[in-house]
Structure 1
């Protein structure tokens, strides 16, 4: 995609499909929310109208939901380059913003902010990360997902939770969702961390006690990626605890953004 393609009004609407349903003022602080591998913008739709003074803007990667017919990204660099175009277009008038990413979405959020910094763009007021090991820490989370068969991938999704059984048991649905899932894991598994100075952005990390892919200690290492304030709030639960305990998540996010709304 060219920059003009990515930042046209139509393209921005594809990336931010629920922008018109925020229920917040046009100049309200924007919270861009990036989903987990295989997930879409709808994962965050329930967050809209739950954070006073904040316009929750779920991000829709290609290859799912309203963008099902678009080829999904398989590498980090083009993904964050195109997404940076969208975010910078949305905040070009000086609008303040924050970013939330879960699992793969957290890693993409981190590289997105480094890309925006390289371009000289405005930094967000806060970064929230959950379900994701700090980018500079190595962690063996098992065999590469992009090489798995469909049945192996379905079994992995069952172990992680967060995907309804009726989806996993429907071959026609799996045919639609597995390509995006495999592409997303390709983004993660081909990712290489390159050292850069820490972000000058406060970070809140939200680990869970029983997350098999992101233990608390490795999530806590996000503190090394900021020169600003770092907060850590641990959930009792698994990989998707921040969604299953949504009221607690709203509390942590609202408290972190209070000074900006």
Structure 2
């Protein structure tokens, strides 16, 4: 039994490596030069560093590997230049994530037509099998987390400099978000009647300016818009909204509208598949 298993595994590995060599074309078979050194099989273009690591793990130094982006540009923001397109056209085979992670791929390959290299998605199911519905799994997980918990109470900071007082991680926890309640008990009746009016005028004027200043700083922030929103998904609490973002790994500041201080519940999870390190699902209940 064990011998049959090893034979099957060996056959599978041979098929994998032979298929990779086949993608490179008959004119790039492994050869040796006059000194007996092996000559690379051909040129492999990859869309990202992660795909490059996969290719290295299989092909090692038997291929010349190039990256589409020569700069540190997020994969979903990258657009190939003219020189990039020429390098892609001259490659023997092109490996990329798929699943829509690289928005430019389909249109670029179509524009190259017959000159496009053999292209392979690495995040896809074998032929004849259904691709996992990662978005559907994400929605189901968010709805279950919001409906069943566990829950954690969070009080939102009322000033930006205190935003880091609260941290939310992408984990299976529903956060009950509460707005900070201001204490108005310090305002005396006499002060409000007499001096309060002048102060109120100053407050209106200065407050308006401060608001303008805040807007100016607000516009300077690198805001991120949701790629997709799903209203009232099945299985979620009523009036729920799911927003799917394309995020690089790191920390982000969430801002909420304090003019409508209604408490709500939120969960943040990562989407699986090729988007596992880029997509977060933000779910706002009772919004």
TM-score (norm 2): 0.28
Structure whose alpha-carbon radius of gyration is higher:
2
TM-score, with length taken from structure 1: 0.31
Q: Which has the higher helix share?
A: 1
Bigger relative contact order, structure 1 or 2, given CA contacts below 8 A and separation 6+? 1
**Structure with the higher strand share, 1 or 2:** 2
